[in-house]
Amino acid sequence: MERKRPNRMFLHTKITSSTNDDIKKMIYSDFDCAAVLCADSQSGGRGRLGRSFLSPDGGIYFSAAYPLSGQEKNIAFLTLAAGLAVAETLEESASDTVADSIRIKWPNDIYINGKKVCGILTELCSLGGHLSAAVGIGINSKTLGDTCPDELKDKITTLFDEGIFPSRDKLIRDVIKKLDRLVYSQNVLDEVPDDVTASLNSRSYIYGKEIMFFDGDIKKCGTASFVERDGSLRVLTADGTAFVKFGEVTEIIRPKNT
């Protein structure tokens, strides 16, 4: 399907509950909504699987709408395309060493130096035969200090902590420009070009790592391999090859032998 590239309009607010909730409201009144909604903080930031997303002042939170036909072969690729757009944008303002450590953890997180810096939430909206996706991106930007809960201190990082000091507005525009190019010019929702899967796989956080995943209700373990063209993750298990399409995967960290 030929999609019409929207003429984006960037709207900024200091605080909102969730930019994803806001864009969903706009989508329901205009399915061709071209707005990108950005906020300095969110009081009800949401993550995947019903989790909350810590969104204090000093982060970068934004959401954009992508109208769909419903005939796309790879809607699941939207989140991965957004991750690739974020990773490539951050690389442009990072030192070579930091840029080398920017990784995409299938399906929706960006890591720097082994710690999460960004999460992506894609939600589908459907009304009266119209379908659209709300893509929300949250990036930890300024150092969190005391506002970071103890249990997250070893798990998350910020752009400032990694020596990346981008202009917020330019970063948002660059991410959306790259994501729009992937969706509207490279048509990744219908057919993912080989160079796009190669770009994703070369930045994989979990490739070659031992991971845990769910096959239906059954917990399984295996070694993470490549992301496929349909957006699924290939995992090598003791029983053969599995393709994880939904949910998320957890890295298994084994205690080192002393």
Helix (H, G, I), strand (E, B) or coil at 129: coil
x/- mask, ligand BTN, residues 10-29, rule CB under 6 A, reads: --------xxx---------
Considering the complex, state which of residue 56 and residue 160 has its C-beta at the smaller distance from ligand BTN: 56
How far, in Å, are 12, 52, 164 from residue 62 at the CA level? 9, 15, 19
Do 194 and 205 contact (CB within 8 A), yes or no?
Answer: no
Q: What angle do CA 167, 35, 133 make, to 5 degrees?
A: 105
Q: Which of 31, 40, 53, 74 binds ligand BTN (CB under 6 A)?
A: 53
x/- mask, ligand BTN, residues 96-115, rule CB under 6 A, reads: ------------x-------
- Amino acid present at 184: Y
By CB under 6 A, tell whether 61 contacts ligand BTN. Answer: yes
Instruction: Collect all residues with Cβ–Cβ distance below 8 Å to 123 and sequence separation of at least 6.
Output: 20, 24, 133, 134, 136
Considering the complex, state which of residue 42 and residue 74 has its C-beta at the smaller distance from ligand BTN: 42
In the numeric block, which tokens belong to residue 185? 């010019």
Considering the complex, state which of residue 56 and residue 223 has its C-beta at the smaller distance from ligand BTN: 56
Binders of ligand BTN in range 117-146 (CB under 6 A): 119-121, 136-138
How near is the Cβ of 154 to ligand BTN at its closest, in Å? 17
Considering the complex, state which of residue 57 and residue 185 has its C-beta at the smaller distance from ligand BTN: 57
- Amino acid present at 20: N
Q: How many residues does the chain have?
A: 258
How near is the Cβ of 117 to ligand BTN at its closest, in Å? 11
Binders of ligand BTN in range 63-82 (CB under 6 A): 63
How far, in Å, are 126, 217, 244 from residue 158 at the CA level? 34, 34, 29
How far, in Å, are 103, 148, 196, 214 from residue 227 at the CA level? 13, 32, 11, 17
Considering the complex, state which of residue 123 and residue 190 has its C-beta at the smaller distance from ligand BTN: 123
| Cα(15)–Cα(9) distance, integer angstroms | 18
The site that binds ligand BTN (CB under 6 A) totals a number of residues, namely 19
Applying CB under 6 A, the residues found at the interface with ligand BTN are 18-20, 42, 45-48, 51, 53, 61, 63, 108, 119-121, 136-138
